Amino acid sequence: MQPDAALHLLVVPRAHIPDTGCLGPQDLDLVEAMDALGRELLRQRAPPGARTKLGYHVPPWRSVGHLHLHAMALPHTPAWAAAKYSLPGTWLSSRALMRRLRWSWPLLGGAGGGEDGEAV
């Protein structure tokens, strides 16, 4: 995979889940565990004080047919790659996905919510 950020990790579940469109409230534990692992890896590996971004591409804007969480330390490289990981309707931050699963909100459409700028 071509990295699109200073540090670009993927968290992939063993269970085959095609994408975020296949997730329901019963998957909240899995998604929370993926989020926790992504944040822990960033804590260990990202430069101190780096801004981070965690999230998912939403179908049909995903490149691989297996659920994966992008965990990145910014900045994006090249800078224009930021669009790939922030456009509403194509990108869902990890926190936004957990919120939607918790409250059973629709996973498709609506604002994605970039939620970058979180400090490690």
Q: For binding to Zn ion (CB under 5 A), which residues are involved?
A: 57
CA distance 51 to 120: 6
Residue 63 CB, shortest distance to Zn ion, in Å, is: 5
**Closest residue to Zn ion in the complex (CB):** 57
Q: Which is nearer to Zn ion, 66 or 104 (CB)?
A: 66
Q: Where are the beta strands (DSSP E) in 1-120?
A: 5-11, 51-57, 69-76, 91-93, 118-119
Q: Where are the beta strands (DSSP E) in 13-67?
A: 51-57
Q: Which is nearer to Zn ion, 104 or 107 (CB)?
A: 107
Q: Which residue in 67, 50, 72 sits closest to 120, CA to CA?
A: 50
Residue 61 CB, shortest distance to Zn ion, in Å, is: 8
Q: Are 64 and 43 in contact (CB under 8 A)?
A: no
Residue 60 CB, shortest distance to Zn ion, in Å, is: 12
The answer to whether residue 66 is catalytic is no
Q: Which is nearer to Zn ion, 63 or 119 (CB)?
A: 63
- What token pair was written down for 81? 């790659």
Q: Could you say which of 57, 68, 70, 76 is catalytic?
A: 70
Q: List residues with catalytic annotation.
A: 70
